[in-house]
């Protein structure tokens, strides 16, 4: 027989994506209180590394996880910037075409 609390906890387990959404919400709130992005970045990296070193059996894994996450974040931001540039370029093209038609 399983404990209902354990079953409920398993059903509501957060995914990595869910955790990232929660952290982004926290970052947004911190930015709205005028905390400098560099301070937020340092603090989050520090806490992540600290958690890793406290919980990892092989401390070398902490470096790998942090490095991999930084690389993925860089690629994600690069994709966002390219998408933003494409949208801006398309909007400029539409604006240019509408001015030509007048």
- Model pLDDT for residues 74-88, shown as the tens digit of each residue: 999 988 888 888 877
Dump pLDDT digits (tens) for 36-68.
999 999 999 999 999 999 999 999 999 999 999
Buried b (16+ CB within 10 A) or exposed e, 52-73: beeeeeeeeebeeeeeeeeeee
Label residue 4 by pLDDT band (50, 70, 90): low
Shared domain for 72 and 42, answered yes or no, is no
Shared domain for 50 and 62, answered yes or no, is no
Helix 37-55 / helix 60-101 crossing angle, nearest 10 deg: 150
Degrees to nearest 5, angle at CA 68 with 40 and 77: 60
Whether residue 4 is contained in a domain is answered as: no
Query: What's the domain count of the chain?
Result: 2
Query: Could you tell me the pTM of the whole model?
Result: 0.66
Shared domain for 63 and 101, answered yes or no, is yes
Whether residue 3 is contained in a domain is answered as: no
Helices assigned H by DSSP within 4-59: 4-11, 16-32, 37-55
pLDDT of residue 84: 84
Domain that holds residue 35: 15-55
Shared domain for 102 and 74, answered yes or no, is yes
């Amino acid at each position: 027989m399983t404990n209902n609390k354990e079953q409920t906890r398993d059903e509501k387990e957060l995914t990595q994506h869910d955790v990232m959404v929660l952290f982004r919400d926290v970052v947004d709130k911190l930015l709205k209180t005028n905390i400098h992005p560099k301070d937020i970045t340092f603090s989050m990296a520090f806490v992540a590394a600290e958690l890793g070193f406290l919980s990892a059996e092989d401390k070398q894994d902490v470096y790998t996880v942090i490095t991999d996450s930084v690389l993925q974040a860089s690629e994600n931001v690069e994709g966002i910037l390219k998408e933003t540039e494409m949208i801006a370029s398309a909007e400029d093209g539409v604006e240019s075409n509408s001015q030509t038609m007048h």
